[in-house]
Amino acid sequence: MSGFSRFTPLVNALPSTIPFVGPEAIERQRATKVKARIGANESGFGPAPSVLEAIARAAGDTWMYNDPENFELREALALHHGVSRDNIAIGGGIDGLLGEIVRLVVEPGAAVVTSLGGYPTFNYHVNGYGGRLVTVPYVNDREDLDGLLAAARGEDAPLVYLANPDNPMGSWWDADSVVAFARALPERSLLVLDEAYCETAPAGSTPAIEALIGQPNVLRMRTFSKAYGLAGARIGYAIGTIGNAQAFDKIRNHFGMARISTAAALAALADQAYLRDVVGRIAAARDRVAQIATQNGLRPLPSATNFVAIDCGGDGAHARAIVDGLMEHGVFIRMPGVAPLNRCIRVSVGPEAEMALLEEVLPKVLRTAGSNR
Amino acid sequence: MSGFSRFTPLVNALPSTIPFVGPEAIERQRATKVKARIGANESGFGPAPSVLEAIARAAGDTWMYNDPENFELREALALHHGVSRDNIAIGGGIDGLLGEIVRLVVEPGAAVVTSLGGYPTFNYHVNGYGGRLVTVPYVNDREDLDGLLAAARGEDAPLVYLANPDNPMGSWWDADSVVAFARALPERSLLVLDEAYCETAPAGSTPAIEALIGQPNVLRMRTFSKAYGLAGARIGYAIGTIGNAQAFDKIRNHFGMARISTAAALAALADQAYLRDVVGRIAAARDRVAQIATQNGLRPLPSATNFVAIDCGGDGAHARAIVDGLMEHGVFIRMPGVAPLNRCIRVSVGPEAEMALLEEVLPKVLRTAGSNR
């Protein structure tokens, strides 16, 4: 049945493509059950036991809307980061916040700078508001800071995206380079610094909060979806100047946050001992993934995240064959979308059962996929 | 600290007003604890015990993103309503869906028709996308179907909002009148039919699904926030033609739904016995609120919802004094925003403890507020 005749021209021009197909959809399409869910950079280690207790305590309150000001969570995050509550904006994961930032900044036709092969959901939102993507190729599997800077200047771009550590490659820059990049950007260009994976990054790779907190053209994004193990809760936050954090209040869905999710995030933040522990387990599992790759003749890339990009030594079709072949064995992974990154597969780390299944089936898959190489 | 220098002109022109101040904010501002939370049309009766069990079961899965296709929930809703899964779009409560609909339809300057004093969050979204609100006064405390129709035609409005039953007045139209209204609208005008309160409405006031399912200029909105008792879960849905339901896929945050919330909604839908039971308790509590109003010399309006609008016989200042006075006793209620509706207060129904507190303190408050009358 047809739709309404008068959606906006922008909406009518949008494709129906979506940023990612979920593992559930793949299960349905292929009638295969996922046994190792290591494709969406979730944390199979899960949230802290204290978080599960907080969820149980909050369940009975779910008849109430969440506080639209997110006061307690912003207060806790402010204490955690040593900033004011007014420097923090809460949103439905970084994905949700990215949509809001694009809406705040991007008018139809505006240039938006990102890396070629960078986070697809950011691109989805830019397209959704009619922005014009200007993409800068990776250099040595890292986002190219000089190239991004030149593009931002050359295009007078109102918005620039950088993920540090990067997804999908797992690479990173040291904090000083990121700060220098942010300070070199024209003040007419807003930097979205996506730090979804900062908790698992090496020391010295994440700028101190105070290094950029006073800069009106920087917004830093954090999430409870990765190391904290709460992807399904959909809680992310932005850190920026008070003016920037408050800008979200003009457009966000004030009653949009789930109450149990907010309680879970509060508990997760309070349990830094668990975070330290799980970050150690993530690091060990990264080594495990790298070892599995190496023993199969593949080259694992260094990673600052909870996943490992693995260079499979072929082209995109070869990597795709491996992704598809693994799924036939119930191992769900993903891969970068564009060349030359798409010579790699991307494996999220997880508990040993998932790692063991990967170790078991990867050689079988490579024997078949080898013919496509 | 200042914000980014280059937000869009539309964003710069937006006020920082928000649709509703939450009870938590009122508690903080006034240092008063809410004892009876009967102001946000939540359901103090809570969700079904089976829903709390489902939440407990889902807690351990919250490290995973929710299925971005919302397949299971759409499938269950399709079965419930006798439509196809493809007729259903899921969103972050009706509030979230309203924002998406406005984005799909409203370009800056476009006329959007609603009732004067109707749902503020809808207006918030219209302003947020630069729409031009055209408001039609209520007639006899009901939304004026003829007036809305005339305005839609006269303005060639791409979007028209109607709540049935209505918030904030609790009034309603019979199903035939709503269907006639929807069919009379120009096909260039999309009707957003907000049916958040349909579960508590009298028989014959909600059009059958099949009456409007084939009409490309109608989208019906439902929620788990009201009778189902899951306001904090943030799950709403739209029912419409396949083309309309799929339009959301072009712009929505595909990974935006919370996993526990989705499990809760599925369980709530499955427990129709609880829904019937709680609808009975809501009806009884409506009578209780009406009785409290009457015994205090106020006039309760008929209600098809989980709240009762009470005519306090004065002006907006008088009603405001009652709302503020009740809050001093820890009773949180709200009131309509514009005359002549704002001669009323709006009291959400709830369990007997809350009703008893209202009964106890209302006479005291009225004695003080009387002087403002």
Domain final position from B235, B270, B305: B270
Question: Smallest Cα–Cα separation from A329: which of A358, A350, A298?
Answer: A358
Q: Is the complex ipTM higher than 0.90?
A: yes
Q: Mean pLDDT across chain B, nearest whole number? A: 97
Interface contact flag, A250 B63, Cβ < 8 Å: no
Residue A101: helix, strand or coil by DSSP?
Answer: helix
Domain final position from A210, A243, A271: A271
Record the tokens describing residue A59, joined without a space. 């369940």
Q: In 10 A of CB A283, how many CB atoms? A: 16
Interface contact flag, A230 B63, Cβ < 8 Å: yes
Contacts of B44 in chain A (CB under 8 A): 63
**Residues B104 and B121 grouped into a single domain:** yes
B9: CB partners within 8 A, 6+ apart: none
Q: In 10 A of CB A315, how many CB atoms? A: 14
Cβ-contact A196, A163 below 8 angstroms: yes
Contacts of A260 in chain B (CB under 8 A): 55, 232-233, 258, 260-261
**Residues B325 and B208 grouped into a single domain:** no
pLDDT at A329: 97
Burial of B82 (0-12, 13-18, 19+ CB in 10 A): exposed
Interface contact flag, A121 B255, Cβ < 8 Å: yes
**Residues B264 and B279 grouped into a single domain:** no
Residue B138 domain flag: yes
Interface contact flag, A69 B25, Cβ < 8 Å: yes
**Residues B175 and B103 grouped into a single domain:** yes
Q: In 10 A of CB A178, how many CB atoms? A: 24
Instruction: Report the CATH number that the domain containing residue B38 is assigned in CATH.
Output: 3.90.1150.10
Record the tokens describing residue A199, joined without a space. 């908790």
Q: How far is B317 from chain A (nearest CA, A)?
A: 26
Contacts of B45 in chain A (CB under 8 A): 63
| Residues B223-247 pLDDT 10s | 999 999 999 999 999 999 999 999 9
pLDDT at A51: 98
Beta bridge partners of B341: none
pLDDT higher than 70, residue B31: yes
Residue A25: helix, strand or coil by DSSP?
Answer: helix
Interface contact flag, B40 A65, Cβ < 8 Å: yes
Contacts of A12 in chain B (CB under 8 A): none
| Closest CB from B232, B246, B247 relative to A62 | B232
pLDDT at B17: 76
Mode of pairing for the β-strands spanning A132-136 and A111-115: parallel
**Residues A149 and A298 grouped into a single domain:** no
Q: In 10 A of CB A73, how many CB atoms? A: 24
**CA pair distance A152, A162, nearest whole angstrom:** 12
**Residues A217 and A338 grouped into a single domain:** no
Interface contact flag, B250 A188, Cβ < 8 Å: no
Record the tokens describing residue B192, joined without a space. 């957003």
**CA pair distance B71, A232, nearest whole angstrom:** 16
Chain A residue nearest residue B104, CA to CA: A7
Cβ-contact A264, A230 below 8 angstroms: yes
Q: How far is A293 from chain B (nearest CA, A)?
A: 25
Record the tokens describing residue B76, joined without a space. 């269950």
Residue B29 domain flag: yes
Contacts of B56 in chain A (CB under 8 A): 56, 59
Helical packing angle, B259-270 and B272-295, nearest 10°: 90
Record the tokens describing residue B293, joined without a space. 């109003």
**Contacts across the A-B interface (CB distance below 8 Å):** 280
Record the tokens describing residue B189, joined without a space. 């005008």
Residue with tokens 């299944």: A357
Interface contact flag, B63 A190, Cβ < 8 Å: no
For residue B173, which amino acid is it? W
Q: What are phi and psi of B151, to 5 degrees?
A: -65, -40
Q: How far is A221 from chain B (nearest CA, A)?
A: 16
**CA pair distance B34, B40, nearest whole angstrom:** 12
pLDDT higher than 80, residue A372: no
Q: pLDDT above 90 covers what percent of chain B?
A: 96
Residue A59 domain flag: yes
Q: How far is A350 from chain B (nearest CA, A)?
A: 11
Burial of B78 (0-12, 13-18, 19+ CB in 10 A): middle
| Residues B199-210 pLDDT 10s | 999 999 999 999
Interface contact flag, B232 A260, Cβ < 8 Å: yes
**Residues B31 and B131 grouped into a single domain:** no
pLDDT at B369: 86
Record the tokens describing residue A269, joined without a space. 């933040």
pLDDT higher than 80, residue A373: no
Q: What is the dihedral of CA B72, B75, B80, B83, to 10 degrees?
A: 160
Cβ-contact B305, B201 below 8 angstroms: yes
Residue A4 domain flag: no
**Residues A109 and A248 grouped into a single domain:** yes
Residue B133: helix, strand or coil by DSSP?
Answer: strand
Q: How far is A125 from chain B (nearest CA, A)?
A: 8
Q: Which of A121, A185, A253 to mutate to test the interface with B (most CBs of B within 10 A)?
A: A253
Greatest Cα pair distance, chain B, in angstroms, is 57
Interface contact flag, A241 B1, Cβ < 8 Å: yes
Interface contact flag, A264 B67, Cβ < 8 Å: no
Cβ-contact A88, A239 below 8 angstroms: yes
pLDDT at B6: 97
pLDDT at A20: 87
**CA pair distance B332, B347, nearest whole angstrom:** 9
| Least trusted range by pLDDT, from A89-103, A352-366, B15-29, B177-191 | B15-29
pLDDT higher than 90, residue B20: no
Mean pLDDT along residues A198-227:
98
Residue A3 domain flag: no
Q: How far is B83 from chain A (nearest CA, A)?
A: 12
Mean pLDDT along residues B34-40:
98
pLDDT higher than 90, residue A285: yes
**Residues B93 and B129 grouped into a single domain:** yes
**Residues B75 and B223 grouped into a single domain:** yes
**Residues A265 and A334 grouped into a single domain:** no
- The secondary structure of residue B337, as a DSSP letter, is S
Q: pLDDT above 70 covers what percent of chain B?
A: 99
Q: How far is A213 from chain B (nearest CA, A)?
A: 9
Contacts of A45 in chain B (CB under 8 A): 63
pLDDT higher than 60, residue A1: no
**CA pair distance B159, B216, nearest whole angstrom:** 13
pLDDT at A16: 79
Contacts of A261 in chain B (CB under 8 A): 258, 260-261
Cβ-contact A41, A226 below 8 angstroms: yes
* Domain span at A218: 49-271
Q: Mean pLDDT across chain A, nearest whole number? A: 97
**CA pair distance A289, A294, nearest whole angstrom:** 9
Residue A333 domain flag: yes
DSSP string, A131-179: -EEEEE--BTTB--HHHHHHHHHHHT-SEEEEESS-TTT-----HHHHH
pLDDT at A138: 98
CA-angle at B69, arms to B232 and B19, nearest 5°: 35
**CA pair distance A6, B101, nearest whole angstrom:** 12
Burial of A337 (0-12, 13-18, 19+ CB in 10 A): middle
**CA pair distance A344, A313, nearest whole angstrom:** 8
pLDDT at B309: 98
| Residues A47-69 pLDDT 10s | 999 999 999 999 999 999 999 99
Interface contact flag, B63 A45, Cβ < 8 Å: yes
| Closest CB from B46, B62, B232 relative to A65 | B232
pLDDT at B1: 57
Q: How far is A317 from chain B (nearest CA, A)?
A: 26
Residue B254 domain flag: yes
DSSP string, A207-227: --HHHHTT-TTEEEEEESSST
| Closest CB from B25, B40, B65 relative to A232 | B65
Q: What is the b/e burial string over B148-163, where b = at least 16 CB atoms within 10 angstroms of the residue's CB?
A: bbebbeebebbbbbbb
Residue A356: helix, strand or coil by DSSP?
Answer: helix
Residue A1 domain flag: no
Interface contact flag, B4 A257, Cβ < 8 Å: no
Instruction: Report the CATH number that the domain containing residue A125 is assigned in CATH.
Output: 3.40.640.10
Q: pLDDT above 70 covers what percent of chain A?
A: 99
- The secondary structure of residue A346, as a DSSP letter, is E
Domain final position from B270, B305, B339: B270
Q: In 10 A of CB A83, how many CB atoms? A: 19
Cβ-contact B298, B195 below 8 angstroms: no
Q: Domain count for chain B, please give it.
A: 2
pLDDT at B19: 81
Q: How far is A149 from chain B (nearest CA, A)?
A: 18
Distance of CA A5 to the CA centre of its chain: 36
Record the tokens describing residue A198, joined without a space. 């900062």
Mean pLDDT along residues A33-40:
97
Record the tokens describing residue A347, joined without a space. 């494996």
| Closest CB from B18, B234, B261 relative to A249 | B18
pLDDT higher than 80, residue A116: yes
**Residues A334 and A189 grouped into a single domain:** no
- The secondary structure of residue B64, as a DSSP letter, is S
Contacts of B71 in chain A (CB under 8 A): 24-25, 28
